[in-house]
Amino acid sequence: MIAKEITKVHNFGPGPGILPAEVLQQAAEACINFDNLNLSVLEISHRSKNFEKVMEESKALVKELLGLKEGYQVLFLGGGASMQFAMVPCNLLRTDGKAGYVNTGVWAGKALKESKIVGNTVVVASSEDKKFSYIPKGYAIPTDLDYLHITSNNTIYGTQIKQFPKTSVPLVCDMSSDIFSRKVNGNDFALIYAGAQKNMGPAGATMVAVREDLLGKTGRKNLSMLDYQVHIKGESMYNTPPVFPIYVSMLTLRWLKKNGGIEWIEKINEQKAAAMYHEIDRNSMFTGTTVVEDRSNMNVTFIMHKPELEPEFDKLWKEAGISGLRGHRDVGGYRASLYNALPLESVNALTEVMQAFEKKFA
Catalytic residue among 59, 146, 174, 294: 174
Do both 240 and 265 map to the same domain?
Answer: no
- Based on its alpha-carbon atoms, the radius of gyration of the chain, rounded to whole angstroms, reads 21
Based on the domain organization, do 332 and 184 belong to the same domain? no
Of the residues 107, 146, 178, 227, only one is catalytic, namely 107
Residue 269 has pLDDT above 50, yes or no: yes
On whether residue 7 sits in a domain, the answer given is no
- Averaged pLDDT for residues 236-241: 96
How far lies 242's CA from each of 17, 37, 192, 255, in Å?
Answer: 18, 19, 19, 20
Residue 356 is given by DSSP the state: H
Same domain membership, residue 129 and residue 219: yes
Please give the mean pLDDT across all residues of the chain.
96
Same domain, 45 and 78: yes
Find the catalytic residue in 198, 255, 272, 317. 198
**248 within some domain:** yes
Co-location of 79 and 203 in the same domain: yes
Q: What confidence tens digit (pLDDT) does each residue in 81-135 have?
A: 999 999 999 999 999 999 999 999 999 999 999 999 999 999 999 999 999 999 9
264 is catalytic: no
Alpha-carbon 209 to chain mean position? 14
**Under a CB-based contact definition with an 8 Å cutoff, are residues 229 and 90 in contact?**
no
Q: Which pTM was predicted?
A: 0.96
274/245 same-domain check: no
The CATH number assigned to the domain holding 309 equals 3.90.1150.10
* 255 is known as an active-site residue: no
- How many helices (H) does the chain have, and how many strands (E)? 9, 14
Reply yes or no on whether the pLDDT at 9 is more than 70: yes
pLDDT beyond 50 at 61? yes
Instruction: Say whether both 316 and 191 belong to one domain.
Output: no
Q: 193-217: b or e for each residue (b if 16 or more CB lie within 10 Å)?
A: bbbbbbbbbbebbbbbbbbeebbee
Could you confirm whether 107 is annotated as catalytic? yes
Task: Compute the average pLDDT of residues 173-201.
Answer: 97
CB 230 within 8 A of CB 115: no
Tell me which residue range forms the domain holding 117.
24-258
Instruction: Using the predicted structure, report yes or no on whether residue 8 has a pLDDT greater than 80.
Output: no
The number of domains in the chain is 2
pLDDT, tens digit, 9 for 90 and up, residues 201-221: 999 999 999 999 999 999 999
Phi, psi of 97 (to 5 degrees): -105, -165
